Every structure is written in structure tokens, then in C-alpha cells.
């Protein structure tokens, strides 16, 4: 995980997740460890499988595989639950509720 190739791909993954955040108006999870863990998993899948598959599910190389950001997250999880299954992408309402519950 500390190879120059992995670290380079990790930077690309961080740029990718930044772009998803901007494109869809999402927010990162307030827990930075969640974000880092998911970004590491996305990077591993990119290096192993050639695509950024959701790291929370096994890659089976079928149409059911979830590419980040996955359709269930965009269609249901984030709009209705406030965050995707992995927890990296969150709605504004989820962030506000999380912050107010800690206050």
C-alpha cells in the first residue's frame, strides 16, 4: 500500500471522490477515517480489477457489481438514508443532523 504506484493511484482516487462530491452536491462523511478507508478500498479495486468498484461488496465481475458512485446510492441510499452504504458520500441533511447530535 505504500508503493509509488499505489500512492499515485490513491491520489487519483481522491480526485475522483472530490469530483463525485462536486458533481452530485454530496458531502464527505464527517468521520475522516471512513473516507480514508473507502478511498483506500476504491484504490485497491482500481488496481486489482481496473475499475473503482465499491469496496463494501465483493467484486464478482457481473453486472451486479457496484461501480462508485453506485446506482443504489444515487437512487435510494443517499436521498432516503442520507448516506451511501459505504458512508463516504452524505447528504447535507445527514451532515447537519450528525453535527447537531454531537452538539
Judged against a pLDDT cut of 90, whether residue 101 lies above it is answered with no
d(CA 13, CA 5): 12
pTM of the model: 0.92
For the chain, which domains are there?
4-102 (3.90.460.10)
Instruction: State the pLDDT confidence band at 99, using cuts at 50, 70 and 90.
Output: confident
d(CA 20, CA 91): 12
**Residue range 61-67: mean pLDDT, rounded:** 86
d(CA 49, CA 6): 14
Q: Which three cell numbers stand for residue 17?
A: 471522490
Torsion on CA atoms 98, 24, 43, 47, rounded to nearest 10:
160
d(CA 32, CA 49): 25
pLDDT tens readout for residues 7-51: 999 999 999 999 999 999 999 999 999 999 999 999 999 999 999
Amino acid at each position: 500500500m505504500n508503493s509509488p504506484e499505489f500512492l499515485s493511484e490513491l491520489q487519483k482516487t481522491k480526485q475522483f471522490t472530490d469530483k463525485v462530491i462536486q458533481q452530485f452536491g454530496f458531502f464527505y462523511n464527517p468521520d475522516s477515517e471512513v473516507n480514508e478507508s473507502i478511498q483506500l478500498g476504491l484504490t485497491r479495486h482500481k488496481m486489482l480489477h481496473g475499475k473503482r468498484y465499491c469496496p463494501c461488496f465483493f467484486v464478482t465481475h457481473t453486472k451486479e457489481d457496484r461501480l462508485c458512485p453506485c446506482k443504489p446510492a444515487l437512487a435510494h441510499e443517499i436521498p432516503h438514508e442520507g448516506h451511501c452504504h459505504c458512508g463516504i458520500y452524505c447528504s447535507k441533511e445527514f451532515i447537519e443532523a450528525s453535527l447537531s447530535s454531537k452538539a
